[in-house]
């Protein structure tokens, strides 16, 4: 009790000292300041600068300690200035995190020569510093200069422009100090900003124009200027001569004409002589080159013939070895199959349980049919095995034919599929359809159906194809599928062969949209992954002379959709190889590294996607490269953002959660507008899908969903700002009661963090 009384007395003494100073003041405005002081002393609720002790600290700094910068006539304006900047420093007033540290910074601004003395507090610039002490460090570096409105605007413009490049705050402080010093020393701000911005762009790997091109342009400008100067001189000389000729008498003109004619005749004779000598020299040179080429040709042809014969002999030896090995394998397989059959017969004879099962099986017609068909397949397999030497011999006659490629595909039960091996086919029965479907894709000789699908057939009017596409889309919607608001535009771009490039943040549904487009078109979509090297597109020759076919090769040849996801995250030099495939020419071909000249399938399409526009890294995606301009020009950019309609469909009956997600995203947007920084932890469509799964399975409570999806990894100031915006907006009557409950739980959790009662974060 005594301690509280002593604190109250101390505050009263401070108030009396400030009031006495104001009483003797002759300025009429200071009377208002004294009345306001005594009023808030009696009723602290009317304070603007809270708490009352902080208000007294500011008054003492202005009135009692800092009479140099704040003389008597400026006390009132200084206090009003302090009240004006208070909301920018304490966003949540007394509940602002790190209030004590910020209060010290606030008071220091009103010391002798401080920020407030020169009105150099710039809110936009202040919020760009995470550690507010750095703001004071910057100001001290330029303290004592002449500050005007133009100075503040130039510094703000520079800070906004270079802040995204400075991920280290010390780097940002040093850059801002360097600019301020140069500007205050008399340099033009526009020149400094351009120089600094260009330097940061080069540091980030962004080059709009190379120095070589600039030098070339300067050289061309100099050349043009020189030519212009010479032209002017020639024009002046011509005019002078024309004037002289006009003044000449007719006799002089005749003499000149005769002289010119004589000189022209002599010149013509000399030119004819030179042309004759030049033609003769040229003919001799051509003849000498022809003889040299003929001599080299004989040597080259002889060397090629020798090398070809050696290669042919080597190929024949390899083919002979392959034939022998194949025949040995067939004989060995036959012996092994005989041994297996003998063992099975012995096993059937000695096993009583199998005898009972076989007896029961004879009564089932369906099982008997399957056994018969299995025997047919066994006979067919044995026949194909015995025919393998003939296939090898055919390869010997055509050594350039590439080996067949075997693909094992999982098939559904109760389905008859085809297995094709070099024009030999066999029907696999239902009993074996659960294992695998064997498909052979030959590299050059396989038969490819080049019939375009209906929606991509350009011989059919576009309106008919679009009408059919919309019918299919409506059927998929009736089956429960949800479509993004930009889906139709992307689909039209694919149908028009326009190579769409989907631009949007992570988790907004770009990949799912490509899968939906493939489903409507009836085509397969293959994600070819990052394009780090050219062989990701073209494939490569293996060490043993084979050819590794990439997914892109299969898309181009067999008519599939090549999905280039995160195109801006690959190697920009490698992606240039896409240009040959993005031209969309009719009857196009491409010669792949295996020597095969592959025709472009009419169903082949390319869809790109990325998180940036392709012009390089930004604040959120700082490792992305700039996509080469020629590649960008061949893509059609389409922005794909978050679609609330899709997320509302995903959350379904969970209306309260959808409204909370909407409020949360609105608050993060306001944070970006307020601080000029991209908000962290924005809820994506992918996150909404995960939340729906938690709710359906009841795997997490509401508190844990809020903790893991909306709270964790976020800073206290950021959470406090979001909570303030959400709780202000949720009071509107359009939001349901469940949404208000979720917002209340979220606010309680954030209050634990900002008040220092969060035991989890304190560990």
**pLDDT value of residue 353:** 55
| pLDDT tier for residue 739 given thresholds of 50, 70 and 90 | very high
| pLDDT tier for residue 526 given thresholds of 50, 70 and 90 | very high
Q: 124 with 219, same domain? A: no
Residue 419 has pLDDT above 90, yes or no: no
Q: 415 with 461, same domain? A: no
Q: 168 with 237, same domain? A: no
Report the C-alpha gap between 62 and 58 in whole angstroms: 6
Q: 153 with 57, same domain? A: yes
Report the C-alpha gap between 294 and 529 in whole angstroms: 51
Domain boundary among 577, 612, 639: 639
Of 315 and 453, which is predicted with more confidence? 453
pLDDT (tens digit per residue) in 654-672: 988 988 898 888 888 888 7
pLDDT (tens digit per residue) in 91-117: 888 788 788 888 888 888 887 777 777
Q: 196 with 220, same domain? A: no
The phi-psi region of residue 32 (left if phi > 0; otherwise alpha if psi is between -120 and 50; otherwise beta) is alpha
Q: 425 with 474, same domain? A: no
Of 584 and 760, which is predicted with more confidence? 584
**pLDDT over 70 percentage in the chain:** 77
Q: 74 with 147, same domain? A: yes
**pLDDT value of residue 449:** 84
> Is there a domain that residue 116 lies in?
yes
Report the C-alpha gap between 656 and 661 in whole angstroms: 9
pLDDT (tens digit per residue) in 247-256: 776 777 777 7
**pLDDT value of residue 208:** 64
Among the residue ranges 278-282, 504-508, 515-519, 621-625, the one predicted with the least confidence is: 621-625
Q: The CATH number of the domain where 574 resides is what?
A: 3.40.50.300
* DSSP structural state of residue 65: I
Q: 180 with 214, same domain? A: no
Average pLDDT over residues 345-357: 58
Bridge partners, residue 502, by sequence: 609, 638
Among the residue ranges 199-213, 347-361, 406-420, 626-640, the one predicted with the least confidence is: 406-420
SS (H, E, C) 524-559: CEEECCCCCCCHHHHCEECCCCCEECCHHHHHHHHC
> Is there a domain that residue 401 lies in?
yes
> Is there a domain that residue 370 lies in?
yes
Q: Encode 636-655: b = buried (16+ Cβ within 10 Å), e = exposed.
A: bebebebbeebbbbbbeebe
Of 434 and 66, which is predicted with more confidence? 66
The total of structural domains in the chain comes to 5
Helices (H), 43-132: 52-59, 75-89, 99-108, 123-126
Query: Structural domain of residue 392, as residue ranges?
Result: 352-442
Average pLDDT over residues 211-240: 83
Residues 6+ apart with CB under 8 A from 473: 483, 487, 520
Domain boundary among 639, 667, 695: 639
> Is there a domain that residue 346 lies in?
no
> Is there a domain that residue 32 lies in?
yes
**pLDDT value of residue 745:** 93
**pLDDT value of residue 372:** 47
> Is there a domain that residue 261 lies in?
no
| pLDDT tier for residue 48 given thresholds of 50, 70 and 90 | confident
The total number of residues written for the chain in this structure: 763
Average pLDDT over residues 478-506: 88
| pLDDT tier for residue 45 given thresholds of 50, 70 and 90 | confident
Q: What is the mean pLDDT of the chain?
A: 76
Of 625 and 361, which is predicted with more confidence? 625
CA dist 649 → 362, 472, 473, 661 (Å): 55, 19, 16, 13
pLDDT (tens digit per residue) in 161-175: 877 888 778 888 888
> Is there a domain that residue 251 lies in?
no
Domain boundary among 393, 411, 442: 442
Q: 525 with 604, same domain? A: yes
pLDDT (tens digit per residue) in 214-228: 777 778 888 888 889
Residues 6+ apart with CB under 8 A from 573: 628
């Amino acid at each position: 009790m005594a301690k509280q009384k002593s604190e109250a007395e101390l505050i009263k003494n401070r108030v009396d000292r400030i009031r006495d100073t104001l009483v003797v003041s002759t300025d009429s405005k200071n009377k208002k300041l004294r009345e306001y002081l005594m009023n808030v002393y009696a009723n602290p609720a009317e304070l603007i600068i809270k708490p009352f002790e902080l208000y007294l600290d500011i008054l003492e700094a202005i009135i009692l300690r800092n009479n140099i910068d704040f003389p008597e006539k400026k006390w009132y304006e200084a206090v009003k200035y302090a009240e004006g900047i208070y909301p920018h420093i304490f966003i949540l007033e007394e509940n602002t995190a790190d209030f004590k540290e910020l209060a010290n910074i606030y008071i220091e601004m009103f010391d002798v020569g401080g920020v407030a003395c020169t009105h150099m507090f710039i809110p936009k610039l202040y919020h760009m510093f995470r550690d507010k002490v750095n703001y004071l460090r910057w100001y001290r570096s330029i303290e004592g200069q002449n500050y005007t409105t133009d100075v503040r605007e130039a510094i703000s413009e520079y800070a906004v422009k270079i802040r995204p490049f400075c991920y280290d705050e010390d780097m940002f402080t040093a850059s801002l100090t360097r600019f301020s010093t140069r500007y205050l020393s008399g340099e033009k701000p526009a020149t400094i900003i351009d120089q600094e911005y260009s330097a940061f762009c080069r540091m980030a790997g962004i080059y709009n124009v190379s120095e070589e091109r600039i030098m070339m342009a300067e050289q061309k400008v100099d050349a043009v200027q020189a030519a212009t100067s010479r032209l002017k001189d020639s024009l002046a000389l011509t005019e002078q001569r024309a004037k002289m000729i006009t003044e000449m008498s007719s006799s002089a003109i005749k003499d000149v004409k005769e002289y010119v004619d004589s000189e022209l005749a002599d010149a013509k004779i000399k030119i004819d002589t030179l042309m004759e000598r030049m033609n003769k020299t040229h003919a001799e040179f051509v003849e000498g080159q022809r003889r040299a080429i003929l001599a080299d040709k004989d040597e080259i042809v002889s060397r090629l013939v020798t090398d070809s014969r050696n290669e042919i002999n080597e190929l024949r030896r390899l083919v002979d070895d392959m034939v022998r090995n194949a025949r040995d394998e067939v004989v060995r397989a036959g012996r092994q199959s005989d041994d297996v059959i003998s063992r099975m017969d012995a096993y059937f004879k000695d096993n009583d349980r199998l005898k009972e099962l076989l007896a029961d099986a004879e009564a089932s017609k369906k099982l008997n049919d399957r056994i018969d068909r299995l025997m047919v397949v066994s006979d067919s397999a044995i026949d194909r095995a015995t025919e393998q030497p003939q296939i090898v011999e055919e390869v010997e006659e055509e050594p350039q034919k590439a080996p067949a490629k075997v693909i094992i595909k999982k098939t559904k039960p109760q389905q008859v599929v085809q297995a094709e091996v070099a024009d030999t086919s066999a029907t696999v029965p239902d009993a074996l359809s659960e294992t695998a479907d064997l498909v052979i894709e030959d590299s050059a000789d396989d038969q490819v159906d080049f019939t375009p699908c209906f929606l991509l057939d350009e011989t059919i009017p576009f309106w008919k194809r679009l009408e059919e596409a919309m019918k299919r889309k409506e059927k998929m919607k009736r089956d429960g599928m949800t479509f993004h608001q930009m889906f139709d535009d992307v689909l039209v771009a694919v149908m028009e062969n326009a190579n769409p490039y989907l631009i949007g943040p992570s988790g907004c549904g770009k990949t799912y949209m490509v899968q939906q487009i493939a489903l409507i078109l009836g085509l397969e979509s293959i994600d070819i992954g990052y394009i780090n090297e050219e062989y990701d597109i073209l494939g490569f020759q293996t060490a043993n002379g084979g050819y590794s076919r990439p997914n892109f090769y299969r898309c181009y040849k067999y008519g599939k959709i090549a999905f280039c996801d995160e195109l801006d995250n690959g190697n920009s030099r490698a992606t240039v190889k896409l240009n040959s495939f993005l031209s969309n020419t009719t009857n196009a071909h491409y010669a792949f590294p295996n020597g095969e000249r592959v025709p472009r399938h009419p169903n082949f399409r390319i869809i790109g996607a990325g998180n940036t526009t392709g012009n390089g890294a930004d604040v959120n995606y700082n490792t992305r490269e700039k996509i080469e301009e020629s590649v960008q020009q061949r893509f059609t950019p389409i922005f794909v953002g978050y679609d609330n309609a899709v997320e509302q469909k995903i959350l379904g009956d969970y209306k309260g959660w959808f409204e909370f997600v909407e409020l949360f995203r609105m608050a993060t947007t306001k944070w970006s507008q307020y601080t000029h920084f991209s908000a962290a932890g924005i809820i994506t469509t992918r996150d909404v899908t995960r939340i729906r799964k938690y709710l359906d399975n009841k795997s997490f409570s509401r508190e844990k969903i809020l903790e893991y999806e909306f709270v964790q990894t976020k800073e206290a100031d950021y959470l406090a700002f979001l909570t303030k915006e959400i709780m202000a907006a949720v009071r509107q009557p359009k939001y349901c009661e469940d949404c208000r409950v979720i917002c209340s739980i979220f606010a309680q959790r954030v209050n634990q963090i900002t008040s220092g009662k969060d035991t989890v974060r304190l560990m």
